[in-house]
Amino acid sequence: MNSHKFVEQELKKKGLHISPITEDYINLRLNDFMKFVNDILEEYKDIYKLWEPKPVEWFINPMIDKWKFSYVIEKQNGEIALFNFTSVYGKNLHNHCTYVHKKMRGMNLAKYHLIKICQVGIENGFENYEGYWDKRNNGSLILHLKLGFKIVSMRKNEQLLLVGNLNEIKEYAMKQLKAN
C-alpha cells in the first residue's frame, strides 16, 4: 500500500492532515508554532530542567534540508496537533524535536508522522533516522524502541541516541496501526 496515501486517509478519518513545514509556512505561522512548542516546554519544565523557551531564531534556523523533512499535523481548522523538525546529519535524517498537543496524545500521531518521514526519507535515498531522546521520556523511548530504533549511545548521561532503519520503522508503524 502507498504509505503517503495511508497516512493521509487515516489522518483524514481523525479530522487531521499532515503538511510539510516549509520556510514560507514557518514564517506564515511563526507565532502559532512558537506558542505551541513553548507551551509544551512550559508544561514539562519541572521534568526537563534544561528545556528553555525557543526563540524565533530556533524556528527559522535553516538546518540542512529542514524544510524538506519537517512536518506538522493539524486539525482542519489549523490547530496544531504535532510539530516536528527533522534535518540531515551526514547520511542520516535527524530528529530535532517532535511535540504533540496534550489533548492529542495517545492518538498514534507520532506513528503516522514517522511513516510519512520514513517514506520521504527513503524516496530521497536515506536509510536511517536518528535522534536524541531524554532518558526520562519513557513514553517516547518505548514508542521508538517498539518501532525498531536501537539505543546507540548516551550523551551527558541524560540523552539517548536512537537510530533506526527507515524501512523497518515504517513497516513496524504501519503494522501496529493496521492491527488497531
CATH number, residue 122: 3.40.630.30
Residue 65 contacts residue 22 (beta carbons within 8 Å): no
The set of residues, in sequence order, having a beta carbon less than 8 Å from that of 155 and lying 6+ positions away, is 132, 161
Residues of the chain with confidence (pLDDT) below 50: none
105: nearest Cα among 79, 86, 138, 82: 82
Range of the domain at 148: 3-179
Q: How far is CA 176 from the centre of its chain?
A: 17
**Predicted local confidence at residue 163, as pLDDT:** 98
Residue 77 contacts residue 32 (beta carbons within 8 Å): no
3-state secondary structure at position 17: strand
The model's pLDDT over 68-98, given as tens digits with 9 standing for 90+, comes to: 999 999 999 999 999 999 999 999 999 999 9
Distance CA 126, CA 162 (A): 16
**Predicted local confidence at residue 1, as pLDDT:** 66
Q: How many domains does the chain have?
A: 1
Distance CA 140, CA 144 (A): 6
**Predicted local confidence at residue 29, as pLDDT:** 97
**Predicted local confidence at residue 50, as pLDDT:** 64
Residue 133 contacts residue 162 (beta carbons within 8 Å): yes
